[in-house]
Amino acid sequence: SCQKASWNTGHRDVCRTMRKNRFDEDGWPKSDYFFDSRDRLYRDWFILEHIGKYRITFLSKQKRFRSEHRSIPANEPVVSVLDFTTFPLGDPPWSFCNIDTQAVPKAREQAPDADWDVLLDEAKKRNGKDPLVMAIIPVAGDYHHYYWVGFGRQQSN
């Protein structure tokens, strides 16, 4: 049959390799899900739509965060967090996400692969008018979340 022929002509080796490589260096199962270009376009659109929708909330929460953490210099950016992993409990109510603010060191720890030096320079140029946002997106079949870091108003080069 077709399945038997496929199994005997290489599929067995592919399966063995996939099973062998199911875990990453930390011992976590690797994701079976990979973003293709359409997924990335949709993900970015989805995040930017939410950043636009909740811009006022980001700015007010950043203001409150700064008043509660006066040790953070006024010229140092803070990071708004758009967390989609908390569904269905959202803040603001009836949203599909949780919105919070955190200091840069904590955000750097959560998203170490982001180009933080460039992002922080850009955030300083924008002078708080366009919040620096870290979106946390659950990834199907994975214990690790995807972290997107950027601004609501993307600058063209």
Helices (H) and strands (E) in the chain, counts: 6, 4
What is the residue whose two structure tokens read 């180009």?
115
Which pLDDT band, with edges at 50, 70 and 90, does 74 fall under? confident
Across the chain, what does the average pLDDT equal? 79
pLDDT one-digit tens code per residue, 11-67: 667 666 666 665 666 665 555 455 677 888 888 898 899 999 989 999 999 999 999
Give the per-residue pLDDT at 41.
Answer: 87
Spatial separation of the C-alpha atoms in residues 121 and 119, rounded to whole Å? 5
Give the per-residue pLDDT at 134.
Answer: 94
Whether residue 157 has pLDDT greater than 50: no
Q: Burial code of 115-126, b = ≥16 C-beta within 10 A, e = fewer?
A: ebeebbebbeee
The answer to whether 43 and 84 have CB atoms below 8 angstroms apart is no
Whether residue 118 has pLDDT greater than 80: yes
Which pLDDT band, with edges at 50, 70 and 90, does 106 fall under? very high
Q: So where are the chain's domains?
A: 1-30, 34-151
Which pLDDT band, with edges at 50, 70 and 90, does 130 fall under? confident
